[in-house]
Structure formats: structure tokens, C-alpha cells
Amino acid sequence: MRVAGVLLGCLTALLGLVYFVVCGVLLGGFLLWPRTRGRAHGLFVAGARRLTALERSRRSVFFRDTFPEHHACDQQVLRYLAARTYTGLLCSVVVGLLVFGVLLAGLLVAGIARSTLTWQELLTQAGLGSVLLFLDVQGLLSLAALDTRLARECFGPSERELLERRITELAASRAAVVRAVDVERRRVERDLHDGVQQRLVALAMLLGRARRSKAPEQADALLAQAHKESQEVLTELREVAWRVYPSALDNLGLQEALGGVAERCSIPIRIEYDVPEPLPPSLETAAYFVVSEAVTNAAKHSGAQDIFVRVRQYESTVAVLVRDSGIGGADPSGSGLTGLHSRVAAVDGRLDVHSPSGGPTTIIAELPCA
């Protein structure tokens, strides 16, 4: 099949040469005259597109290249057809040399059969034939690779290449998600161990002291302190639960969950929400955590006076923007932003971080809806 495709490519290259010569003769004057240049160029490109479609069909039939729908510009089509014509004619020359070499090999075999060749003549012709065969094969392989590269540049990557690229991206995304989950699990364990657990220990000690106290006034004071400590434990436990997964996402939706982020943040947050329809749960979760973690990082490290959050839907994409008025200098490779990259990549999104020294820091996440 590939050999037939190469031979057919030699014929289509000859057809392309004829097309360029004929169009150069018939349309050359019209292409030079400004008043007719546009229409003549349109006719010229229309024929070039038909020949390019023929080349695309040849690649699909004989080389099993299935290209996605792709509309190349006029300049790209003409450049491809010119390069393809040149490489095809060069391939015709190489094929012709190969045929000539086969004929010489046949004459050599006939001479051996008739015993009309000396050993010196036989070795000389065999050596020259081997060199010619090697050069022909290498030339054909190189021209075939060039033909493939030209087709890829004009028609785009094949579906197989897109599938292989997608598999690679999914493997990398899966590994990133696993790392993000491990980091999140360690963070939750650290919050429970260093925060809630320590407060529960302090609460138990206060209750023990109140039970052992023999003075009613001291016992009442210890109980009041224990009651206050229990409220703080509940507040911190609620914060940990919100960081794991906010129940408001399921009950009230993304907009209300973002309002909860603004209420819990110590920095004033202004939110613009422009999403007309409910989003898929995975997308809402990703958008929420982008905002939540970006706001948390800004509150801890940026020294910002205010934060602006915007969630807007553009056709099939949801854009999440978080901008703070802090000092900037955020490291995109840091653990917090790396986790954001992993979350966004898990839903096939893209995350951009712009944080020059002196600020402001702007984080933009683009999340596809489909």
C-alpha cells in the first residue's frame, strides 16, 4: 500500500507541476493587474485546494493517516502544494534511478548467465549497483518522511497522534491528581493533629480541673473556659470540614459556597458571578477550590488589602479569576499553586499565574464545560 502511495504521489506531483505551469501562463497577467488580482488569486487557490484534497485522500487511503477537520489558510495551501510538487518530482527522479538500477541488475545477471563478464567487471558493477541501491533506498525513506511532515504541517496531527498525545496528558494528569490527593490528605491530618486534637486535649484538661476543683467559683470559671474552648473546637472543625469539601456546593450551589469563602476570609472580597446555568459537579468543585485556595494563599502571604473574584462563563468555558492587591512574587512551582494546577488539569483546564514583584497577583483558571 505504501509503495503504491509513493508511486501515486509521483503522479500527483506531476499534476501539480502542470497546474502551476498552466495557471502561471493563463492567470499570470491577471494576478499582476490589481483590478483582477483578487478574483484570479481566488481561482488559483480554489484549484490548489482541490489538489491538496487529493493529496489528503492519498495520505488517508495509502498511509492510513486520518486527519481531523482543519481549514488551512490560502498561503498554507499554496506552500504545501509547492513543497509537495517539488518533493514528488524529486521522488520521481529517485524512483527512476531505482528502475534504472534494476535494469542494470538484470543485464548483470544476464551477463553472468552467458559468462561474458570477467570477475573484475562483475565486482565493479556489483559494487556500483550496491551503492546506487543504498542511495535510492535512503532517498526514498527521507522523501517519505518529508512527505509525512509536510502533510502534518498542513492538515494537522493525525487522529492517532492526537490520541497518543491525549493518553500522555491523561497519564500525567492522573499522576498529578494522585499527588494532589496525597498532599490534601497530609494537610487534613496536620490540621486535625495540630489544631483540633490539641484543642480537644486542652478541653479535656479544663474539664478535669473543673471536676477536681473544690471551690465553686474556680469550677465555674473553668467550665466557662471549657465552654469557650468547645466553641472554638467546633469552629475549627467546621473550617477543616469546609476545606475538605463544602456541603454548600451540594445544597446551595457554587455562588453561595463562594459567598461562604468571602465570609470566612479576613480580607474583604468582592465577587462577580456570571454563570447563567448550573455547572457540572466536578466543574463546580474545581472552581470552588481554585477560589478557596487562591484566597487562602493571598490571606496568608500576600499582605493584600482586598481581593477580587470573578466567575464568568464564555460559551463552553468557565473562566475563574482571582486578583489580590498584595506584594506579588508568588512562585508558580510552590506547593499551593502546584495543587491548583493539578486540580485544574484534572478537568482538562488551564491555569495561568501572573505575579510580578510588587503585585498584583492574578490567577486565571479556564475550565471547559464539555
Q: Does 17 map to a domain?
A: yes
Say yes or no: 10 and 83 in one domain: yes
Amino acid, res. 110? A
Domain end point (choices 191, 220, 244): 244
Which residues have a Cβ under 8 Å from the Cβ of 358 and sit 6 or more positions away?
Answer: 327, 328, 329
**Quick check: 53 pLDDT over 80?**
yes
Say yes or no: 72 and 149 in one domain: yes
Q: Does 169 map to a domain?
A: no
**Quick check: 69 pLDDT over 70?**
no
**Quick check: 10 pLDDT over 70?**
yes
List alpha helices for the chain, DSSP H.
2-32, 34-63, 74-114, 119-155, 159-191, 197-212, 216-244, 248-251, 254-264, 281-297, 335-346
Give me the CATH number covering residue 278: 3.30.565.10
215-239 mean pLDDT: 78
- Residue 308 confidence (pLDDT): 92
Q: Does 224 map to a domain?
A: yes
Domain end point (choices 192, 222, 244): 244
Say yes or no: 215 and 352 in one domain: no
Query: Looking at the whole model, is its pTM more than 0.85?
Result: no
Q: Which long-range contacts (CB under 8 A, 24 or more apart) does 9-12 make?
A: 9/55, 9/58, 9/84, 9/88, 9/91, 9/147, 10/88, 10/89, 10/91, 10/92, 10/95, 12/51, 12/54, 12/55, 12/58, 12/84, 12/88
Question: Where is mean pLDDT largest: 169-183, 186-200, 219-233, 286-300?
Answer: 286-300
Q: What three-state secondary structure class fits 354?
A: strand
Q: Does 324 map to a domain?
A: yes
Say yes or no: 235 and 293 in one domain: no
For residue 347, the enclosing domain spans 251-368
Chain mean pLDDT for the chain: 80
With residue 268 as reference, give the H or E element that holds it. none
Cα distance between residue 236 and residue 243, in whole Å: 11
Cα distance between residue 56 and residue 368, in whole Å: 31
Q: Does 164 map to a domain?
A: no
Q: Does 170 map to a domain?
A: no
CB 184 within 8 A of CB 204: no
- Residue 179 confidence (pLDDT): 65
Q: What three-state secondary structure class fits 362?
A: strand
**Quick check: 354 pLDDT over 80?**
yes
42-57 mean pLDDT: 87
Which residue has 482538562 as its cell numbers? 348
- Residue 359 has phi, psi (to 5 degrees) of 80, 180
- Residue 235 confidence (pLDDT): 72
Domain end point (choices 244, 259, 282): 244
pLDDT-derived band at 321, boundaries 50, 70, 90: very high
- Residue 23 confidence (pLDDT): 87
Q: Return the ∠ at Cα 34 (arms to 31 and 35), rounded to 5°.
A: 100
**Quick check: 238 pLDDT over 70?**
no
98-120 mean pLDDT: 74
Cα distance between residue 75 and residue 159, in whole Å: 24
pLDDT digits 0-9 by tens, 139-159: 888 888 888 888 877 776 656
Say yes or no: 21 and 58 in one domain: yes
Say yes or no: 81 and 192 in one domain: no
pLDDT digits 0-9 by tens, 29-47: 887 888 888 888 888 888 8
The count of residues in the chain is 370
Say yes or no: 18 and 142 in one domain: yes
- Percentage of residues in the chain having pLDDT higher than 70: 85
Buried b (16+ CB within 10 A) or exposed e, 152-169: eebbebbeeeeeeeeeee
Say yes or no: 15 and 153 in one domain: yes
Q: Does 165 map to a domain?
A: no
Q: Which three cell numbers stand for residue 197?
A: 486534637
Say yes or no: 239 and 256 in one domain: no
pLDDT digits 0-9 by tens, 77-94: 888 888 999 898 898 888
Q: Which three cell numbers stand for residue 254?
A: 457554587
Which residue has 462563563 as its cell numbers? 313
Say yes or no: 229 and 361 in one domain: no
pLDDT-derived band at 242, boundaries 50, 70, 90: low
130-139 mean pLDDT: 82
Total domain count, the chain: 3
Q: Does 168 map to a domain?
A: no
CB 44 within 8 A of CB 31: yes
Residue 33 CA to its chain's centroid (Å): 45
Residue 326 CA to its chain's centroid (Å): 30
With residue 369 as reference, give the H or E element that holds it. none
Say yes or no: 13 and 142 in one domain: yes
Say yes or no: 238 and 257 in one domain: no
